[in-house]
Each structure stands twice: as C-alpha cells, then as structure tokens.
Amino acid sequence: MFRKCIALLVLLCAPFSLLAWGVVGHRAVAKIAENHLSSSAKREIARLLGTETLPLVSTWPDEVRSDPQYSSTGPWHYLNVASGLNFPAFTAQLNATPIIPPTNAYTALLQVRKDLKDPSKTAAEKLFALKFLVHLVGDVHQPLHVGHGEDRGGNSILVSWRGHDTNLHSIWDGDLVEYPGFTYSEMAQAYDHATSSQVKQWQKDDMATWLFESYQLCTPVYAAAATSPKFDYRFYPAFGPLVEQQILKAGIRLAGVLNAVFR
C-alpha cells in the first residue's frame, strides 16, 4: 500500500507529458514527409536547414521547452477541449480562440505556417517556424494531444503498462510507439504505404479536420482505460494500427503543407 501511495504521489507531482510520439515517432513523421516533398519544397527546406534534416529538427521544439527563452511555446504542443463535442461545436471552440499570440496547437500551427510563407520574415524566423511546423503536425495527430481538458489530455488518468505505473497520455507518447522496436527510418519505411487517393484526400483536409479526427480517436482510448486500466500484451495489438495510421497521416499531411508553402 505504501509503495502504491508513493507511486501515485510521484505521478501527480511530475510535470505532465507533452512528448507526442517521442523521438522515434516525430522523426518517422518527418521522414515520411521527406518522401513526399516536391522538388521546390526540397530545395527551399534544404536552404533553410543547411546541414540539418527534417527528421533531426522534428524534436527540437521538445528539446528547447525547458529553456526560459521558449517558455511561451509550452501550450503550443496540445489542445485540450471539453468532451462530447460534435464537429460544429469543436470548430466553434477553435475559432473562438485568439490567434495572436498562439495559445494552443491549432493557433500555433496557423501562425508558423503563416510565418513560413511571409517574405518579410528573416531566414532565422522561417527556420524557427519550420521546426515548429514539422513538430506540431506530429503532435496533433497523437489523439491525446487533442484530448479532454478535464483530465489534461489523459495525464490525470492513472494506468499501468506491462506492470509499471504511468498515465494514459504517457503510454501514447512513448510506450506504444517504441513497442515494435523500430528506428525512425525503419518505422517510416514500414508505415509509408499510403495510396494515391489517400494522399490526395489527407492533404486536402484542413487543420481543423486533423484535430477533430484526433479528438474523436480519443473515445476508444479513454474507453479502454475506463474498462481496464491495467494494460498488458493485448494493448498494442488493439491500438498499434491506430498509431501507425496517425504517424502516416501526419507525415503525408506535413508534406502537403510544406509543398503548398514552398510551391
């Protein structure tokens, strides 16, 4: 009993997780996007990145979160909303949020996309915008990064994963992605199998649609935790295909945004 109380206290006191998909997942998203870039987008991105690559910069926004210089970007990584919203109510809430300064993943995505297209922005400002765009597209395809505000996107829901105590959000940020044991390049190669019709449809969807999809995908995720919070070997086969789908969609949609920006 004492050990359980200590574990609970540690979880409640620890800062909640915001590392959607972890290093491997974010870099796989960026690698998939690289595979679908136009020649003009590849050229302009290479000019901005120099010796860096999209996969390597995809995790930069997480790496600088603890730096006071970037403290205002903390809320950019997620969007927590009330449960039970339909699409009109969901989009109404999105559109009611002040865009400047960005205060959540949706407003941040709109802003960095705008900055990347703005000819008045410096190369350094565009590089910053590019790094965040790559990262945030990945973030919003992790269902619990568009989760319920009342439980902080699953951070307040205590569960166990294969015998160790954690929370629902953390399982989706890391454990599920890492379970197959892929490197990011292996993951991109294994997951990048979208048909031409899927690519066309996914790239046509707007950002509000992306977020609402993730919001809807939270329903079975929350239901699984409510039914049995002790996740074992059966959890990955149940939700692994969803992880694969969302990482693939994120990569395809990221390529679509970048191709449009650098057209």
In the chain, where are the structural domains located?
2-261
Q: Give 126-158 pLDDT, tens digit per residue.
A: 999 999 999 999 999 999 999 998 999 999 999
State yes or no: pLDDT of 95 exceeds 90: no
Closest residue by Cα to residue 251 from 175, 194, 195, 173 = 194
pLDDT at 233: 87
pLDDT at 18: 52
Closest residue by Cα to residue 254 from 80, 72, 27, 22 = 27
Closest residue by Cα to residue 258 from 19, 29, 70, 24 = 29
Q: Give 29-82 pLDDT, tens digit per residue.
A: 999 999 999 999 999 999 999 999 999 999 999 999 989 999 999 999 999 888
- CB 75 within 8 Å of CB 106: no
Alpha-carbon distance 104 to 122, whole Å? 24
Q: How confident is the model at residue 2 (pLDDT cuts 50, 70, 90)?
A: very low
- For 126, residues 6+ apart whose C-beta sits below 8 A from its C-beta are 48, 115, 116, 118
Question: What are the strands, taking DSSP E only, across 49-195?
Answer: 158-161, 164-167
Domain 2-261 has CATH 1.10.575.10: yes
